[in-house]
Amino acid sequence: MGRMQRREFMKMAGLAGAAVAFSGVPSAMAADEAAEQKAKVDATIKQITGGKEPGKGGLELKAPTIAENGAVVPVTIQPKGIVPGRLFLIVDENPIPLILDVKVSPKYSGDGAISSRIRMRKTSTVRAYAFDSKGSLYGDFKTVKVTIGGCG
Amino acid sequence: MADIGKAIIRVPKAACGEMVEVKSLITHPNDTGLVKDEKTGQLIPAHYVSSCKVEFNGETVYEFSMGPSVSKDPYLAFSIKADKAGTLKMTWKDNKGEVFEQSADINPV
């Protein structure tokens, strides 16, 4: 979409939004937000993977199925049979999806796990990616249900 | 908040050549910059730990780049192969340019 076109579009979207606000149905706005969020996540993933599809196995993402408190969600990335050189952690629904980017020097790390505690705004897919020392990509995903959001 | 940057590193006892799981915690508000102060209605400016470097005997083992979505008082656990005695040094940096350091000894038996 060109610059002028985009501007026109935004103007129209603004009007539509105002109309929606008056009619009391905010679903169009919510849909816009969801699309924006998805574009953000897709861009982040593409930046990391370079568009490659991750291989199966190689690592396991450990996170609770239901997190009661979104402010503190324990996560662990456990390599399985690979020696990772770089690890990533992404939460799809967070304002800033990329949470961890870890460079690993395999000499002392081996296939050791990495754990942290993260914030989650709401129920979301959590993604872990790993590149092994040969540059192969692996991924594991999990949906974590959040009862109380952790960003406010 | 005088306690900002106060860090704890726990290193369990390990046999030589085995993996030791090191746990670390640093006191830090880790404000995302997206939360409003309930009293003033103003956004609390972002103030979070953005990176952490782990060195063992001067060699870099892990380099963490962290987003503001890491919880308050960032916790990191990782493993290191303890094939000799040495010093583990962790260096945290926050988005305001402050640097915090803490060291721990690894003594495999």
Interface pTM (ipTM) of the complex? 0.88
Percent of chain A at pLDDT > 70 equals 81
Contacts of A150 in chain B (CB under 8 A): 71
Q: Confidence band (pLDDT; 50, 70, 90) for A19?
A: very low
What is residue A9's predicted lDDT score, i.e. its pLDDT? 56
Q: Confidence band (pLDDT; 50, 70, 90) for A20?
A: very low
Percent of chain B at pLDDT > 90 equals 61
Residue A94 sits at the chain B interface (C-beta within 8 Å): yes
Question: Mean of the per-residue pLDDT values for chain B?
Answer: 90
Residue A103 sits at the chain B interface (C-beta within 8 Å): yes
Q: Are A107 and B79 in contact (CB under 8 A)?
A: no
Contacts of B43 in chain A (CB under 8 A): none
Does the structure show a pLDDT above 80 at A119?
Answer: yes
Does the structure show a pLDDT above 60 at A25?
Answer: no
Does the structure show a pLDDT above 50 at A1?
Answer: no
Residue-wise pLDDT tens digits, A38-72: 998 999 999 888 888 888 888 999 999 999 888 99
Query: Which segment, A35-39, A141-145, B40-44, is predicted with the most confidence on average?
Result: A141-145
Instruction: Give the pLDDT mean for A89-118.
Output: 89
Contacts of B63 in chain A (CB under 8 A): 102-103
Distances (CA, A) of B99 to A55, A128, B5, B96: 38, 28, 8, 9
What is residue A107's predicted lDDT score, i.e. its pLDDT? 78
Residue-wise pLDDT tens digits, B50-97: 999 999 988 999 999 999 999 999 999 999 988 888 899 999 999 999
Contacts of A76 in chain B (CB under 8 A): 77
In this complex, the residue of A94, A100, A110 whose CB is nearest that of residue B66 is A100
Does the structure show a pLDDT above 60 at A12?
Answer: no
What is residue B28's predicted lDDT score, i.e. its pLDDT? 93
The DSSP secondary structure of B2-61, one letter per residue, reads TTTT-EEEE-----TTSEEEEEEEE----B-S--B-TTT-PBPPPB-EEEEEEEETTEEE
- Using a CB–CB cut-off of 8 Å, the residues of B that contact A are 19, 21, 32, 34-36, 56, 59-72, 74-81
Which of the residues A101, A108, A109, A114 would you substitute to probe the B interface, choosing the one with the greatest number of B C-beta atoms within 10 Å?
A108
CB spacing of B78 vs A113 below 8 angstroms: yes
What is residue A11's predicted lDDT score, i.e. its pLDDT? 59
Task: Give me the helices (H) in A24-142, please.
Answer: 27-49, 106-109
Residue A72 sits at the chain B interface (C-beta within 8 Å): yes
Contacts of B91 in chain A (CB under 8 A): none
Distances (CA, A) of B74 to A10, A27, A59, A114, B106: 39, 36, 23, 13, 22
Given the structure tokens 């199925």, which residue do they identify?
Answer: A65
Q: Are A104 and B79 in contact (CB under 8 A)?
A: no
